[in-house]
Structure 1
């Protein structure tokens, strides 16, 4: 304060005026900044307004979906995506994120195939109502307000969804369909492929056995019975069942015993785990553990009233390859999107091939050849007596003494399973009723 003692009155007043001017300027700047922030918040609030789906028309379409099912608990959503992730759960998440639907309940959704845990799909088809690019108020030149947009003017459904979906799921194509079309009930046939390595399997015997599946048969001995579904008809119609070589650019240099082949199976509909049970028995035929006629015998319910106790083949190599619809005349594949999708799968294939070659190198580097001369034959005797039974997908089981299917214990019949299920349900209902009374 000493520096102001010698100031005149005029100097003091002038200094106070400068201080007041400076303070006012700071307040103006602060006020301006505050107003700007408030304006930004208002704009942000405007941008966050809910998307109004009612401004747009709805369009019924079919979508062709490809997915690797290895990390999912099946295709169909089960209500708990955190603990039980499914392909369908990912699809609905993407559809809602892209504002193509409001939710599952309002889009009249149906699926073609309900693939199980670990099973992949290349030709899975879903049908639902989605948002169109056309506004709800649009009227055409002839006064008709019901016309859909031409396909090339519509939203890019495939590309839009693929930008949101995880790496192991991709949309392949879409098609406009009639309002009443249902993916499950209007599908004419479904085609599965099951990949496996030739190894020492007798493919000729397997083909002879596979041919016996063709036609309409009772497949209760080639499926897993589910008494909760109360199924009464186990007849299914198989249109084609053949074994074919697999063609892949990554498989050209493999040896004959590691040649990859696949079973192609086309039918109108399938039972729970039917394909995996069919493959399990075909593997037994290919190993010459069962004759090809075992297929005909198991299809004869008078001879086998219930399924012999045998394990299912692995889910890893099973693919829902195609779903055929007479009502879908043309699928639309957008060229840029198709190129991107093909490059995406090729990149994943390359990465998986590197992993496979790495495992091959590890197998070759175990030093097994050098150890063969040092191994005492007596130490191998126990293992040599065990029979390796192929289950597909690189999986197998050891059996000390192979027992023919005819000599194995039988699973419960359909009637027995349903009776046990009903008895358990009655007991559970009684306990629930007792709890409510107390």
Structure 2
């Protein structure tokens, strides 16, 4: 029994998130990324295979490099061959882009030390082909101000202000490694918000992105953002950004393991 780690890329637009949901639509299963990959694995293995992801992405959220692992009872498939084998049974909006064998006790969820998200914000007029993957805001924010606000997102922080109602986390503290805005080197009309942390609260990245853009446009100071962050009051957050611009960019396993 081998433990296989996959790197997964997907366009999340037409999915109800990552996590399999067997009874969400009147008792009927809904389309999820985990569910589609597990169906492909079942066709290869002739039995159900459980897939563990590094974390859940919400409806409409994408991934450049989600991490997920499963235990394969087949020893005859070379590990690199899992890429074309699984892709052959997947829809076009999911692609396996990497595969490797890992230790038996490895878990994509519990072995991960950090997750990095990138949010793409279009400040001009995007092409139709870009609309699934950006948030068009039609104005050019001051990146210097945005980065001064984001500079307060460092270290062990109570992120309750930016947790969505209904978040079931036992703690609202998260350890944020870094948060910054930068101009996309492929398109000067796109700015990117990148944030890396041990884990995230439900809709936290979208709430932070929407709040930062809203506060900058409203002429609020970086110190005001710090005041809102320290208030731990969800009512003081700005609007939540749409899911279209958000990508799970990277999952790391070689850093310091902190609380979940």
Aligned pairs, number: 237
Distance 2:140 2:79 in 1: 52
In the alignment, which residue of structure 2 is the partner of 1:160? 85
Identify the structure with the greater strand proportion: 2
Distance 2:79 2:15 in 1: 32
How many Å apart are 1:243 and its aligned residue? 1.1
> Is 2:39 aligned against 1:114?
no
Instruction: Provide TM-score, normalisation by structure 1.
Output: 0.51
> Do the aligned partners of residues 69 and 324 (structure 1) sit closer, same or farther apart at CA in structure 2, a change above 3 Å counting?
same
The one of 48, 55, 61 equivalent to 1:103 is 48
> Do the aligned partners of residues 122 and 306 (structure 1) sit closer, same or farther apart at CA in structure 2, a change above 3 Å counting?
closer
Distance 2:153 2:219 in 1: 19
Distance 2:80 2:218 in 1: 55
In the alignment, which residue of structure 1 is the partner of 2:96? 171
The one of 186, 211, 214 equivalent to 2:154 is 214
How many Å apart are 1:185 and its aligned residue? 1.1
> Is 2:57 aligned against 1:129?
no
How many Å apart are 1:83 and its aligned residue? 5.7
How many Å apart are 1:318 and its aligned residue? 0.2
> Is 2:45 aligned against 1:88?
no
RMSD: 2.1
How many Å apart are 1:162 and its aligned residue? 1.0
> Is 2:223 aligned against 1:285?
no
> Do the aligned partners of residues 217 and 269 (structure 1) sit closer, same or farther apart at CA in structure 2, a change above 3 Å counting?
same
SS at match of 2:247: strand
The one of 223, 236, 256 equivalent to 1:308 is 236
In the alignment, which residue of structure 1 is the partner of 2:132? none
Is the contact between residue 63 and residue 126 of structure 1 (CA under 8 Å) also seen in structure 2? yes
Distance 1:292 1:308 in 2: 15
SS at match of 1:77: coil
Is the contact between residue 11 and residue 63 of structure 2 (CA under 8 Å) also seen in structure 1? yes
Distance 2:222 2:122 in 1: 19
In the alignment, which residue of structure 2 is the partner of 1:194? 119
Query: Using CA pairs below 8 Å that are at least 6 residues apart, which structure has the higher relative contact order?
Result: 2
The one of 132, 140, 145 equivalent to 1:205 is 145
How many Å apart are 1:112 and its aligned residue? 0.2
> Do the aligned partners of residues 300 and 155 (structure 1) sit closer, same or farther apart at CA in structure 2, a change above 3 Å counting?
closer
How many Å apart are 1:124 and its aligned residue? 0.5
> Do the aligned partners of residues 121 and 154 (structure 1) sit closer, same or farther apart at CA in structure 2, a change above 3 Å counting?
closer
Is the contact between residue 117 and residue 249 of structure 2 (CA under 8 Å) also seen in structure 1? yes
In the alignment, which residue of structure 1 is the partner of 2:17? 74
Alignment of 1:409-428 (within 5 A): none
How many Å apart are 1:309 and its aligned residue? 6.2
Identify the structure with the greater helix proportion: 1
